[in-house]
Amino acid sequence: MKVLHVSSSDSGGGAGRAAYRIHQAVKEAGGSSFMRVIKKESIDQDVSDWFPKSFVKQLESHFYRRWLFKLKDKWSSAINELHTFGSYGVGLVDELNNSDADIIHLHWVSDMLSIADIGKIKKPIVWTMHDMWPFCGSEHYALDEPEARFKVGYSLSNRPKGEKGRDLSRVTWEAKRKAWAGQSFHIVSTSKWMDQCVHSSYLFGNSSREVIPLPIDSQFRWKPQSKEIARTALNLPPNKKLVLMGADGSVLHPRKGGDLLLEAIGNLNNTNLYDIELVIFGKTFPMDFELYSFPIHYLGPIKDDRLLALAYSAADVLVTPSRQEAFGLTAQEALACGTPVVAFDIGGLSDLLVHQENGWLATPFDPSDLAKGIDWILEDSTRYIELSKRARMRIEENYSPEIIGKKHFQLYEGILGNRSITDHL
């Protein structure tokens, strides 16, 4: 059995890193696993990059992006999220169909496979939901409400207030509905919440579904390290209580909830507030944090897993105040490093955390309860040791590459077995 993972990247952003970990886990489970990406950053020989090499393809890409810029110039959305319209692909679909892969496993494929390309794939498709784009219109995240467009359909009457120009989300959703009408998908969600969203969606409600969380190597890469050594290496204060927050982009993106963390800091008890210093990593420094009096250490973007593991080990607690989170990769990594996590009881974070066992699940989206969780974790050193131990134990028992790889392997075998039966009917 050969599996070909298709992902825009093997390490860029949370989705790329997650896709690569799944690829590695499948290999560890005994599968023949390969990756196709646009941008390769690993040295894995089983990962190959692909980009339009011909002059015609480069010209096509150039004019497509110019057309898209012009189209978006007259369009604006009230949803402050990434939007992808799915009308462009790099010309990979023929290669996928002609490959010797038994399974095509899609991940985050924006600007790699077009909507039409996905509809033309002739091999069994497994698709891991790293965000909500596959079953939404153009938006990568949408509010999970009873009358959400991804649930009831994108009609002329339910367009969000504040949008201007052509309803590009509706256009994108209609393109998916038509192009994928005869396609069969096997959907993998990394959390129970995402699985519920898939099940309630108009596009994928009748697709086969599976919940398989992301794997993490807690044996060699993500493991606790000496706090003293980690803080020295990162030039962090040795005797302060360090609260860590990070995101691939900006922690002040509304969905990441940096504003809620700032409110929570103001609600901490006086003892903790005096001792606390904040540590932030991400692509951009959130200037709003400078308005507050407590010290802030900015680590910048961290692409090296070893440095990121040091940051988790250096911290006393990771706070993940997200309003939406498909899985919670930073929370998983912190737990593997023995660092308790405070987060709202939402999305994939509800699966990763057990309240008062390996962290604190706060009432969404109450900054005072977030502060209560930070206080609770920091106030008792004896309890903290137990929290740290249980944080790591939960990861080892539930999220190892061996466990997650086996679940994927079983899924693939089931798909191919069913296909063989169907072919002989």
Terminal Cα-to-Cα distance of the chain (whole angstroms): 22
Predicted pLDDT of residue 50: 67
Q: Which DSSP string do the residues of 370-407 spell out, in sequence order?
A: HHHHHHHHHS-HHHHHHHHHHHHHHHHHH--HHHHHHH
pLDDT at site 371: 95
Q: Is the pLDDT of residue 343 over 50?
A: yes
CB atoms within 10 A of CB 415: 19
Q: Span 299-309, mean pLDDT? A: 93
Look at residue 362 and give its three-state secondary structure. strand
Domains of the chain: 2-215+401-423 (3.40.50.2000), 227-398 (3.40.50.2000)
pLDDT for the residue numbered 157: 95
Rounded CA separation 147/159 (Å): 11
Please tell me the distance from the alpha carbon of residue 323 to that of residue 176, in angstroms, as a whole number. Answer: 27
- Beta-carbon neighbour count of residue 52 at 10 Å? 16
Say if CB 24 and CB 14 are below 8 A apart.
no
Residues with Cβ within 8 Å of residue 55, at least 6 apart in sequence: none
Question: Quick one: pLDDT at residue 91?
Answer: 85
Are the C-beta atoms of residues 186 and 125 closer than 8 Å to each other?
Answer: yes
Half-sphere exposure of 247 (CA within 13 A, CB side): 19
Per-residue pLDDT tens digits for 136-150: 999 999 999 999 999
Look at the block and give the residue holding tokens 């803080």.
Answer: 231
pTM: 0.93
Residue 173's nearest CA partner among 90, 115, 107 is 115
Rounded to whole angstroms, how far apart are CA atoms 86 and 103? 22
The confidence band for 360, taking pLDDT boundaries of 50, 70 and 90, is: very high
Angle, helix 381-398 to helix 329-336, in steps of 10 degrees: 110
In degrees, to the nearest 5, what angle opens at C-alpha 100 toward C-alphas 98 and 104? 85
Can the peptide bond before residue 135 be classed as cis, meaning omega within 30 degrees of 0?
no
Average pLDDT over residues 75-92: 85
By 3-state DSSP, what share of the chain in percent is helix, strand and coil, each rounded to 5? 40, 15, 40
In this structure, of 96-110, 111-125, 261-275, 384-398, the range with the lowest mean pLDDT score is 261-275
Least Cα distance to 191 among 18, 350, 395, 24 occurs for: 350
Distance of alpha carbon 102 from its chain centroid, rounded? 26
Chain-wide mean pLDDT for the chain?
Answer: 91
Sequence-ordered alpha helix ranges (H) in 89-206: 93-98, 115-120, 149-152, 168-179, 192-200
The C-alpha atoms of residue 362 and residue 345 are separated, in whole angstroms, by 6
Give the pLDDT band of residue 423 (cuts 50, 70, 90). very low
Residues paired with residue 210 on neighbouring β-strands, in sequence order: 188
Task: Name every residue whose Cβ is closer than 8 Å to that of residue 352 and which is 6 or more positions away in sequence.
Answer: 327, 328, 331, 332, 335, 341, 394
Residue 92 CA to residue 51 CA, distance in Å, equals: 9
pLDDT tens-digit series, residues 195-252: 999 999 999 999 999 999 999 999 999 999 999 999 999 999 999 999 999 987 778 7
* Least reliable range by pLDDT among 67-81, 86-100, 358-372: 67-81
* Residue 387 Cα distances to 132, 228, 347, 358, 379, angstroms: 32, 19, 22, 5, 12
CA torsion, ordered 273, 253, 340, 227, to nearest 10 deg: -70
> Rounded distance, CA 10 to CA 163, Å?
34
